[in-house]
Amino acid sequence: MGVSSTTDAQIVRRSENPVSRSDGSDTMKQPQHPIEDIEELFDDADQDRDDQISLTEFRGLMLTLGRNLHDDAVAANFQKIDANHDGRIGFDEFRTWWLRA
Ligand SMILES: [Ca+2]
Ligand SMILES: [Ca+2]
């Protein structure tokens, strides 16, 4: 009982917070990319929750980041990030690319 009410309270607090996050100004101020931000981006992009980013999901991520790229450019970037060429971007691949970018 006590556990579930704590969880409810955390969900409420989380849903109140995004106001300051949604404009991205917090992220922009930071010169480095904290690992939590990378995880958050990855989770947002991973819409089917298989812990991999597909090409379709990657296209959505590019739009989220404000990069309105041609399909060709999206595919070229995707292939660059997909280091083991399995057609999906895992979190390690994503992080490696993000920290280099
Ligand atoms: Ca996915
Ligand atoms: Ca891969």
Domain count of the fold of the chain: 1
Dist. CA 69 → ligand 2 center (Å): 21
Examine residue 90 and state whether it is found in any structural domain, yes or no: yes
Decide if 94 is inside a domain. yes
Closest among 46, 34, 28 to 89, alpha carbons compared: 46
Residue 38 lies in a domain: yes
Q: Say how many Å lie between the CA of residue 9 and the centre of ligand 2.
A: 37
Predicted TM-score (pTM) of this structure: 0.65
Q: Which domain holds residue 76?
A: 25-100
Q: Please report, for the domain that includes residue 44, its CATH number.
A: 1.10.238.10
The answer to whether 95 touches 37, Cβ cutoff 8 Å, is no
- Cα–Cα separations (whole angstroms), residue 25 to 13, 41, 79: 20, 15, 30
pLDDT at position 61, please? 95
Give the ligand whose atoms come closest to the C-alpha of residue 79: 2
Ion ligand 2 neighbours, Cβ < 5 Å? 82, 84, 86
Q: Residue-wise pLDDT tens for the chain (101 aa)? A: 655 556 665 655 555 555 555 555 555 555 566 778 899 999 999 999 999 999 999 999 999 999 999 999 999 999 999 999 999 999 999 999 999 87
